């Protein structure tokens, strides 16, 4: 029963695509909660987009845009991958990206260079996995040329 519920969740790309949406909301909620004030965010935030949005007082619009972007792009990618052996890698990348956002928000609590480097390594992991899987798919999923 429990595994059937997990399977329904896992194979419903519209639900899986909600994971990064919640992660981004958690990330920025933690950022604003633990940073103390906006001057700290403007000085120390890693994302230039967040700093720009905050400096120009468009944070709500930025957050809305990033949430919509993450959901739509996750849905599109997972829909394309659905039914292939690569779907699991799409879900894995979404999970890593989401975890990176949540622990990124927690970095304002820990305020440690070592912790921040760990967040950066997780970001790199998702990029490396994406390139490796893409390269693997190019090597093994060749489409015959048509002339």
Residues 16-53 pLDDT 10s: 999 999 999 999 999 999 998 899 999 998 899 999 99
Q: Model confidence over 50-63: pLDDT tens digits?
A: 999 999 999 999 99
Rounded distance between C-alpha atoms, residue 10 and residue 83, angstroms? 12
Where do the domains of the chain lie? 2-140
Tokens of 65: 């845009």
pLDDT at 130 > cutoff 80: yes
List of residues 6+ apart from 38 with CB closer than 8 A:
54
Q: Residue 144, class by beta-carbon neighbours within 10 Å (0-12 exposed, 13-18 middle, 19+ buried)?
A: exposed
């Amino acid at each position: 029963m429990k595994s059937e519920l997990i399977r329904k969740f896992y194979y419903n790309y519209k639900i899986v695509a909600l994971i990064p949406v919640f992660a981004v909301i958690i990330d920025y909620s933690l950022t604003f909660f633990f940073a103390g004030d906006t001057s700290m965010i403007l000085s120390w935030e890693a994302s230039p987009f967040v700093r720009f949005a905050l400096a120009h007082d468009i944070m709500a619009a930025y957050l809305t845009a990033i949430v919509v972007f993450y959901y739509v792009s996750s849905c599109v990618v997972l829909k394309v991958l659905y039914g292939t052996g690569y779907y699991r890698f799409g879900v894995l990348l979404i999970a890593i990206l989401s975890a990176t956002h949540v622990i990124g928000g927690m970095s304002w609590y820990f305020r440690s260079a070592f912790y921040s480097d760990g967040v950066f390594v997780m970001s790199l992991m998702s990029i490396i996995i994406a390139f490796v899987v893409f390269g693997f798919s190019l090597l093994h999923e060749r489409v015959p040329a048509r002339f």
